[in-house]
Structure 1
Amino acid sequence: MSAESPAAKSAVNGVRTALGIGGVVSLVVGIIILVWPGHALTALTWLIALYAIVAGVVYAGLGIFSKVMGGWSRVGHIVLGVLFIIAGIIMFANLSTSTTLLLLFFGVFVGIVWIIEGIVALTTLGGAQSKAWSLFFAILSIIAGIILLFSPIMGTLVLVWLLGISLVVLGIVQIVRAFTFKG
């Protein structure tokens, strides 16, 4: 029978707590995404708009109050700050449109990345250990990218739905890990 030290028990309890909290957060966010995908995406847009305003205030403040920056650097920071603030205000004023534009941007961006990833995979076929799997990946990536480019908003909504499912599953697994973690 081995006696664990209080420090070891505390560390194990800390890990269990962290796993449990992470699992619950993942589960809740996943459920929110699945039940209210529109609200979850609007909330994300709201957070991005808030970030833009906060970042704008920080940049403008750096430009105004910095004692070590040169003149052009200060002007650049102030202009950047004002642009961030304006972008944040516009996003807040048009949350629905901003959410749609973010979905469109994300869908097009991911579609382009997948096409490029597929092309890069094709260029590595010569040195690939498994040419069949590399070719399959390349073709699948290029086709998925093209599909996403032709329907970026719908494709992004599917990706969001898959994210919600993943978060629910991972959250449940993490909660189970919290209860079964031995240290």
Structure 2
Amino acid sequence: MSNDFFVKVRRTIGFDGLISTIVGALIVFLPGRSARAAAGMVGAVFIAVGLFRLLSVFQKSIDNNWTRIGHVILSIIYLVAGVFIFMDMSVAAISLILVVGTLTGMTWLIEGIIQFALLNQLSANKVWSFLSALISVLGGLSLLFSPLMGGLLLWTFFGLLLMIIGIFKLIQFVTLKN
């Protein structure tokens, strides 16, 4: 491996580790503010998508008027959603956490049901597959019945993982030598 490439890889690992550690620490130690910042990023993306969709209405390649009307309506929906997010960032952050908790709960529940359905087709040890399916179903149901608490727990867990990964990357950055 060339020396320049090695230096670039090492710097990338260090930068990634630093960013991961900082973002993870912000999520763990300032969960409300970091969730509001994440909601603000979603709001900014909604406004940007709405503006770009609105600008696409004026392209000559769109011949159908119904397509133009659809783009205008969708643009307005994106713009209004983005503005609503910025109107009350705390409510937007709670809504974001609720959506994450609910969608994760639905995913785990469906995954557990599929695992139970495939349990008879497994030829190996069925005990671990059964336990995995049971944990997925119970975890999914608990998130669906309490999406706010589950979402907050997932948000904190995500922050902890980012911090741990970031710290390991920083250690890797420091210990990497030519």
TM-score between both structures, scaled by the size of structure 1: 0.92
Separation in 1 of the partners of 2:105 and 2:44? 27
Q: Residue in 2 aligned with 1:178?
A: 173
Q: Is 1:34 aligned with 2:22? A: no
Separation in 1 of the partners of 2:28 and 2:103? 23
Unaligned residue ranges in structure 1 (runs of 5+):
none
Q: Is 1:79 aligned with 2:51? A: no
- Decide which of 71, 77, 94 is 1:100's aligned counterpart: 94
Note the 1:136-147 alignment, pairs <5 A: 136-147=131-142
Give the aligned CA root-mean-square deviation in angstroms: 1.4
**Stretch deviating more after TM superposition (99-108 or 165-174):** 99-108
Contact 1:61 1:78 in 2 (8 A): no
- Kindly state the Cα deviation for residue 180 of structure 1 after the two structures are TM-superposed: 2.9
> Could you list the per-position Cα deviations for residues 2-54 of structure 1 after superposition, in whole angstroms to 9, with x for gaps in the alignment?
xx7xxx00000000000000000000001111110000000001111111111
Contact 2:101 2:154 in 1 (8 A): no
Contact 2:23 2:159 in 1 (8 A): yes
Q: Which amino acid aligns with 1:104?
A: L
Contact 1:66 1:74 in 2 (8 A): no
> Could you list the per-position Cα deviations for residues 56-100 of structure 1 after superposition, in whole angstroms to 9, with x for gaps in the alignment?
00001101x210112211211111111100111111112111221
Q: Residue in 2 aligned with 1:159?
A: 154
Q: Which amino acid aligns with 2:97?
A: L
Separation in 2 of the partners of 1:160 and 1:102? 10
TM-score between both structures, scaled by the size of structure 2: 0.94
- Kindly state the Cα deviation for residue 182 of structure 1 after the two structures are TM-superposed: 5.3
Q: Residue in 2 aligned with 1:66?
A: 59
- Decide which of 22, 42, 47 is 1:48's aligned counterpart: 42
Separation in 1 of the partners of 2:175 and 2:68? 55
Separation in 1 of the partners of 2:88 and 2:27? 21
> Could you list the per-position Cα deviations for residues 86-141 of structure 1 after superposition, in whole angstroms to 9, with x for gaps in the alignment?
11111111211122122112211111111100000111112323311111110000
> Secondary structure of the equivalent of 1:67?
coil
Separation in 2 of the partners of 1:124 and 1:29? 39
Q: Which amino acid aligns with 1:140?
A: I
Q: Which amino acid aligns with 1:180?
A: T
